[in-house]
Amino acid sequence: MTTSYVEAIRAALGDALRDDPRVFIYGQDIAGSFGGAFKATKGLSELHPERVINAPICEDAITGVAIGAAIDGMRPVIEFQFADFASIAFNQLVNHAATTFWRTGRPCPLVARLPMGGTKGSGPFHCQMPEAWLSHHPGLVVVAPATVADAYWMLRDAIACDDPVIFCEHKYLYNHLRETGDPRLAERLPLGAAVVRRAGSDCTLVSYSAMLHECLSAAGVLEQEHGVSVEVIDLRCVRPLDTATILESVAKTGRVVVATEAWPFGGIPAEVVAVIASEAFHLLDAPPRRVCAVDTPIPVQPDLYAAHRPHAADIVEAVLETVRF
């Protein structure tokens, strides 16, 4: 038996609806036989017709509704059809949800699911990575699972979390990533913890979401073809950052490359590098490097798109430059 990333998300939503009457799902095209643009909610409204609710196209109001329901004791999960459209809800997310606990002392336990990341042919408005601009605002937890097990358990824990959680799920992984077995039986790591996915000694490679798999692929090439031992860290949660796990690895390797599918300016890698530079400068044997997308909107034409997004080969090159510094 194998389970895909989107099946794990669907299982997490179904189990949460089954286990907790406070949970409801609200978003566009999620109910009925359609079951969501990516089928993450398919079949759930048949089991829970009162709690899987179709919304009109209104990301701001969807989020406002979730905020009100959360502070009144529910556990809303909202789905934006594409993460790109969360920009419509920016105000409610960063000014309302993120400030509620700090201003009032009342938790605001909502989960916003954001299908993010690039897929071929989707272009500037259906491929964006929202984690950096949402992470900038204090009061939001921002997670980006990279594995099937994490897709399941991090969503369960996001729903259980008393704070607003931005759940960034990668669209490419939905049906391309499969793991053996039932994710319910997989290891359940702490929601805020980074994890070492591959141990190594020459260079630390930090990433999250789909880019983790490019990093693991690069690490294999580096070991087999160049004799370079790379330690790969999956951040899992990008806000707050598990800095201890990052610094522990850098203390071992003295070199670090941070890879993302997102844009470079003000991104998660910039934050990771800043933490290392200020906390572990004395441990570094080479300048930290970033591998990011090209700093333009995301192109639709396949050749342009392939050149826009970092690949394992780009990561291999960056690691080699770092270890040869």
Partner 1 sequence: MTPSRSIGDAMRLLAGRAGLSRELRLAHLRWALLARIVDDRLLTLYNSAQVPGNVFTSRGQEVLAAAMGVHLRAPGPGAIGDIFAPLIRDQAARLAFGETPLDVIRTHLGKVTGPMRGRDGNAHRGELAKGMLPMISHLGAMPSAVAGVLLARRLRGALAYPDSCIGITSIGDGGTATGALHEALNVIAIEKLPFVLVVANNQVSYSTFNDRSFACRDLVDRAIGYGLRGWSCDGTDAVDSLVAVGGAIAAARRGEGPQMVVASLLRLAGHGSHDDARYMPAELKARFGDGVELAQAAALAEGLIDQAGLDALLEELRALVRAAADTARGEANPDPERDDWRVLSTPDLLAMPGPTAEANP
What 221-227 contacts at long range (C-beta under 8 Å, 24+ apart), as own/partner pairs, is: 221/312, 221/316, 222/316, 222/319, 222/320, 226/316, 226/320
List residues near partner 1 by CB under 8 A.
24, 50-51, 55-56, 58, 60-74, 76, 91-92, 95-96, 98-99, 101-107, 109, 138-139, 141, 157, 160-163, 188, 190-193, 237, 240, 242
Q: Closest separation between CB of residue 11 and partner 1, Å? A: 17
**Nearest distance in Å: CB 281, partner 1:** 24
**Cβ nearer to partner 1, comparing 170 with 236:** 236
Give CA–CA dist 297/175, Å, rounded. 25
Q: Is 117 left (phi over 0), alpha (psi -120 to 50) or beta?
A: left
Give least dist CB 84 to partner 1, A: 17
Single out the catalytic residue among 126, 170, 213, 308.
126
* Non-local CB neighbours of 272 within 8 Å, separated by 6+ positions: 206, 235, 241, 246, 256, 258, 288
Nearer to partner 1, 182 or 314 (CB): 182
Active site residue 308: no
Q: What tokens were used for 173? A: 């992984």
Torsion angle defined by CA atoms of residues 293, 298, 300 and 302, in that order, rounded to the nearest 10 degrees:
0
34 or 325: CB nearest partner 1: 34
**CA of 101: how far to CAs of 76, 95, 139, 162, 274, in Å?**
16, 11, 8, 10, 28
Query: In the bound complex, what is the minimum distance in angstroms from residue 140's beta carbon to partner 1?
Result: 9
Decide whether 141 or 319 has the Cβ nearer to partner 1.
Answer: 141
Active site residues: 126
